[in-house]
């Protein structure tokens, strides 16, 4: 029998939350939070184990992470390798895990009918896992492949450098991921067997009393409790103490330092870090939240607004990082322009001036109260999230907070304590700062190398008095505290909406616009979602116009930032983005002040003027952004090439980069009126809005752009309505495109093997989806777990504007892309017999899993809007897609799935259309040279030039084009 039920105060939950919660503690001391949600479609679980990379033995770096990988394989009760993942996938679920400094978290979700057995399989990780010798060697390679993926990531490199420059005897200093060297080469040299050490580590640290479990189920709490007690009672409790690593990671020699470091990507970054006491001990006072709110503020008078006006920074964030129960850091990160890089000392001086301003102003109660009010509204009206994300977010914090606050955590600062905030503020001084300064300009001017990632850096000591000189010599700018926030909503009432539409309705249609409206019939929160899509044919006429449209949207966001930042603080978000047909405005958040923000955005678009100083900054930022695309992961490059081959009217980023340096202020000034001169507006509105409010919004937009003697826009000519066209690959042909990776330093190669099947059709859709569901886990197991081709190995569905297919995406240092392509085909040959031999009950189980996945309700307004907007933007307009596809699934027979496979997927099938994009990394450059000159096999077509190929191919008809006629 469980102990401890209801022994604590009631768990605080949002006012709008109808779920039930219960804390229990099993006799083995496993502490559990049970969540009952009768409305859920998915059930989920997350187990947080209070041991992580800090506990890695010296010389076996990455052991905790490696153990996380190994637990997935098999257990005594379920000895078939990978059967856990197979079970979860076949029941519509996902599973994953991650290793942190002091925690390892395992989690999964699954359709509700598969939850009980899923839990049983999951529990066996912690009861009697099997860690076979064969799996050990394979998974060391997987850990190494994961590390290879991270080697050229600036985020991983800078994080490790920060750790490297700390006390060598503190666990913070460690390399946490592990690789072939730390898990195979070094242990072997010392006569250690990694598998023995792995088992020893598990035996030593995995104990029920340092685990926290969250269970999210559909049944009532008593039923869930009975299931959980049965499944998890056998986890052993060796009464381990919770691990705490005392001492500060940074001694005096690691403070007052300036670290110059060379990144992989273009751009300059500045990071200031101070050791502080962890906020967790004062989470109701929220000192870091208060300070990050002010230091990271972007409105007029803020540090960022001043740096932006000087043309020195394009981004700034502030807050607590790397927090444990014993130590923590406060961090300020800035993205600098070229001019900002030259003024690093002034920027540091201005930051300390702003900190000084906070000292002089004292801790302001009205700012704390405002922040507290925003946090309270956010907590009580929070969107429901996917159960899998919810359980992880709670379990990771159960160790740190009392049960009453497991859901609240640090999200509700409510105790105003100036002294507590002042203690942290006092820590942000020149005397204990660490400054990390990244720039390619330091290439050749560093004298040290970080051992794990090979990052070049140098360190110099900087005294408090030197920083004092920087403060004195920095510009005298008008830094001041933010104003009162006018965007904080005060009307949170729900509209008396009598509309009961279950899908969007076309509320209004004119030559200028269409208006789609979806009342909130599910979420009942005081929030709205508005999407305004401007189709402007002139925006996509050439690489130059693509770039100019992008610059226009970036400048709009830039101009709006100081005003609209207040809206973002108050949880009313907006975005203006460049699309392949023009640009898009999205607003989402509390509906009370949404109209005010919308009118401001519309006015800014209509009265757009180019400011030369901001143009220069945005142009510089865009050039670096384009240049950095060559540092994308090779699999991302392969995805980009496949989109370029398949999607009509797309241009490569290399052409846009070529066009960009020649564009000047006057080019944009001339272009924007020309772009807006012909436009069509498609608008989607949803949530806590009434019909008349939605109609009033689109009327306002039409009045601003299309009405009056000086109208900005005219309606489109019939020939100008843009369409979505996709290349129709020829039946019976296998196309391939080979290219060298863009970054010569990247050892990784990648393959995208795409099989094009059909244009949107309910019955074909479900056959494709069912194939993908059935093949996903076997593909991962064979190609990743058994053959160890690469850490990134996935089988995905693909949908290009209604053209459906599947694709294998694999990134590897082990094998070249042509070899991987052959392995994919071998997998498909082997999979054929699995499909033929599948028992009928397994087929039915897979069909039911897919039906359950389709029955899954949207969790929040954003998710629902994303689904419906996809139908509108693709032009498919099948708002009843889920119901229609479920009906098709119920009709589907096993023989029909086999026939579908034989016709469209099977290797050598006469109807099959496939495209392989092969990106060769540095480790396979010799194979690239060989394969480029090899003779082409029959039925294979080599693509030499993407655009010649695209121009020569037939295209699928566009759904979008068939709906534009008014």
Torsion of CA 892, 895, 897, 900, to 10 degrees: -120
Spatial CA neighbour of 265 closest among 548, 460, 546, 455: 455
Q: How far apart are the first and last CA of the chain?
A: 68
DSSP per residue over 124-150, as a string? GGGT-EE--HHHHHHHHHHHHHHHHHH
Token pair 């309505």 is at which residue?
Answer: 721
Phi and psi at 526, nearest 5°, equal -80, 50
DSSP per residue over 675-696, as a string? HHTB-EEEEEEEES--HHHHHH
Where on the phi/psi map is residue 649: left (φ > 0), alpha (ψ -120 to 50), or beta? left
Contact 323, 280 (CB under 8 A): yes
DSSP per residue over 647-668, as a string? BTT---HHHHHHHGGG--HHHH
> CA 757, CA 913: separation in Å to the nearest integer?
7
Spatial CA neighbour of 630 closest among 657, 651, 650, 649: 657
- Specify the DSSP element, H or E, that contains 474: none
Token pair 């072997």 is at which residue?
Answer: 188
Catalytic site includes residue 499: no
DSSP structural state of residue 838: -
Catalytic site includes residue 139: yes
Contacts of 725 (CB under 8 A, 6+ apart): 647, 648, 649, 801, 955, 956, 957, 958
Which two structure tokens, joined as six digits, stand for 620? 């510089």
> CA 736, CA 946: separation in Å to the nearest integer?
11
Phi and psi at 224, nearest 5°, equal -60, -45
Phi and psi at 109, nearest 5°, equal -130, 165
Residue 860 Cα distances to 392, 524, 529, angstroms: 18, 10, 11
> CA 274, CA 287: separation in Å to the nearest integer?
14
CA atoms within 13 Å, Cβ hemisphere of 495:
23
Beta strands in 477-581 (DSSP E): 505-509, 513-519, 527-535, 572-579
Helix (H/G/I), strand (E/B), else coil: 907: coil
Catalytic residue of the set 102, 139, 450, 546 = 139
Contact 872, 681 (CB under 8 A): no
- Specify the DSSP element, H or E, that contains 835: helix 817-837
Contact 159, 758 (CB under 8 A): no
Catalytic residue of the set 68, 219, 279, 702 = 68
Which two structure tokens, joined as six digits, stand for 250? 């940074």
Q: Which residues are catalytic?
A: 68, 139
């Amino acid at each position: 029998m469980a102990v401890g039920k209801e022994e604590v105060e009631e768990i605080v939950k949002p006012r709008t939350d109808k779920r039930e919660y219960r804390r229990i503690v099993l006799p083995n001391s496993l502490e559990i939070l049970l969540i009952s949600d009768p409305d859920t479609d998915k059930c989920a679980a997350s187990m947080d184990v209070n041991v992580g990379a800090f506990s890695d033995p010296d010389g076996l770096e990455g052991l905790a992470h490696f153990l996380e990988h190994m637990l997935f394989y098999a257990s005594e009760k379920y000895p078939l390798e990978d059967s856990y993942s197979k079970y979860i996938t076949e029941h519509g679920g996902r599973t994953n895990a991650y290793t942190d400094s002091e925690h390892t978290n395992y989690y999964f979700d699954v359709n509700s009918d598969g939850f009980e057995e899923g839990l049983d399989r999951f529990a066996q990780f912690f009861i009697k896992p099997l860690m076979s010798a064969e799996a050990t060697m394979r998974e060391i390679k997987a850990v190494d492949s994961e590390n290879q993926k991270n080697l050229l990531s600036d985020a991983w490199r800078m994080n490790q450098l920060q750790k490297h420059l700390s006390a060598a005897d503190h666990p913070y200093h460690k390399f946490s991921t592990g690789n072939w060297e730390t898990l195979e080469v070094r242990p072997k040299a010392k006569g250690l067997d990694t598998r023995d050490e792995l088992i020893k580590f598990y035996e030593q640290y995995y104990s029920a009393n340092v685990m926290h479990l969250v269970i999210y189920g559909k049944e009532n709490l008593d039923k869930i409790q009975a299931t959980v007690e049965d499944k998890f009672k056998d986890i052993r409790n060796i009464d381990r103490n919770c691990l705490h690593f005392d001492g500060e990671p940074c001694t005096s020699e690691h403070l007052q330092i300036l670290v110059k470091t060379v990144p992989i990507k273009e751009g300059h970054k500045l990071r200031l870090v101070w050791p502080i006491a962890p906020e967790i001990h004062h989470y109701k006072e929220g000192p870091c939240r208060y300070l990050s709110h002010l230091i990271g503020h972007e409105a007029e008078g803020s540090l960022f607004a001043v740096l932006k006006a000087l043309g020195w920074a394009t981004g700034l964030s502030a807050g607590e990082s790397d927090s444990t129960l014993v130590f923590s850091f406060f961090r300020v990160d800035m993205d600098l322009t070229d001019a900002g890089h030259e003024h690093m000392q002034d920027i540091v001086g201005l930051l300390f001036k702003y900190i000084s301003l906070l000292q002089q102003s004292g801790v302001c109660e009205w700012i704390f109260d405002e922040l507290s009010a925003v946090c309270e509204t956010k907590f009580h009206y929070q969107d429901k999230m996917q159960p899998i994300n919810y359980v992880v977010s709670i379990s990771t914090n159960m160790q740190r907070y009392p049960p009453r606050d497991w859901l609240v955590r640090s999200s509700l600062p409510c105790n105003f304590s100036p002294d507590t905030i002042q203690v942290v503020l006092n820590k942000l001084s020149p005397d204990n700062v660490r400054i990390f300064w990244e720039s390619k300009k330091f290439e050749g001017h560093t004298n040290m190398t970080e051992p794990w990632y090979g990052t070049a850096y140098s360190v110099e000591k900087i005294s408090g008095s030197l920083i004092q000189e920087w403060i004195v010599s920095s510009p005298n700018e008008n830094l001041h505290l933010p104003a009162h926030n006018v965007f904080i909503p005060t009307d949170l009432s729900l509209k008396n909406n009598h509309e009961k539409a279950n899908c969007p309705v076309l509320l209004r249609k004119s030559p200028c616009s269409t208006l789609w409206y979806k009342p909130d019939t599910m979420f009942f929160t005081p929030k709205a979602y508005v999407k305004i899509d401007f189709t402007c044919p002139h925006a996509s006429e050439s690489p130059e116009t693509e770039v100019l449209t992008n610059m226009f949207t970036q400048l709009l966001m830039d101009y709006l930032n100081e005003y609209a930042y207040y809206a973002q603080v108050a949880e009313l978000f907006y975005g203006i983005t460049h699309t392949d047909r023009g640009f898009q405005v999205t607003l989402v958040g509390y509906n009370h002040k949404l109209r005010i923000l919308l009118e401001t955005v519309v006015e800014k678009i209509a009265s757009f003027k180019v400011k030369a100083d901001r143009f220069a900054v945005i142009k510089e930022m865009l050039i670096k952004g384009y240049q950095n695309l060559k540092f994308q992961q090779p699999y991302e490059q392969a995805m980009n090439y496949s989109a370029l081959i398949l999607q009509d009217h797309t241009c490569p980023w290399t052409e846009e980069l070529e066009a960009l340096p020649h564009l000047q202020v006057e080019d944009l000034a001339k272009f924007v009126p020309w772009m807006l001169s012909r436009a069509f507006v498609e608008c989607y509105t949803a949530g806590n809005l009434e019909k008349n409010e939605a109609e009033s919004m689109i009327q306002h937009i039409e009045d601003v752009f299309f009405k009056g003697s000086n109208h900005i826009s005219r309606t489109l000519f019939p020939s100008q309505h843009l369409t979505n066209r996709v290349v129709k690959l020829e039946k019976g042909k296998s196309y391939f495109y080979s290219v060298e990776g863009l970054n010569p330093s990247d050892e990784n190669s990648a393959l995208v093997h795409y099989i094009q099947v059909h244009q949107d059709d309910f019955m074909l859709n479900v056959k494709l989806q069912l194939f993908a569901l059935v093949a996903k886990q076997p593909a991962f197991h064979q190609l990743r777990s058994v053959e160890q081709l690469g850490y990134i190995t996935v089988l995905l569905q693909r949908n290009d504007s209604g053209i459906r297919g599947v694709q294998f995406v694999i990134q590897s240092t082990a094998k070249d892309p042509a070899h991987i392509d052959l392995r994919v085909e071998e997998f498909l040959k082997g999979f054929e017999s699995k499909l033929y031999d599948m028992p009928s009950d397994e087929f039915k189980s897979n069909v039911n899993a897919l039906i359950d996945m389709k029955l899954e309700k949207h969790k929040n307004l954003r998710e629902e809007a994303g689904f419906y907007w996809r139908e509108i933007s693709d032009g498919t307009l099948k708002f009843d897609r889920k119901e229609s596809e479920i009906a098709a699934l119920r009709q589907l027979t096993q023989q029909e799935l086999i026939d579908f496979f034989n016709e469209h997927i099977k290797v050598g099938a006469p109807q099959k259309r496939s495209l392989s994009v092969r990106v060769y990394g540095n480790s396979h450059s010799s194979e690239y040279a060989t394969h480029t000159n090899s003779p082409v096999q029959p039925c294979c077509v080599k693509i030499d030039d993407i655009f010649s190929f695209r121009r020569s191919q037939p295209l699928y008809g566009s759904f979008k084009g068939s709906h534009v006629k008014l």
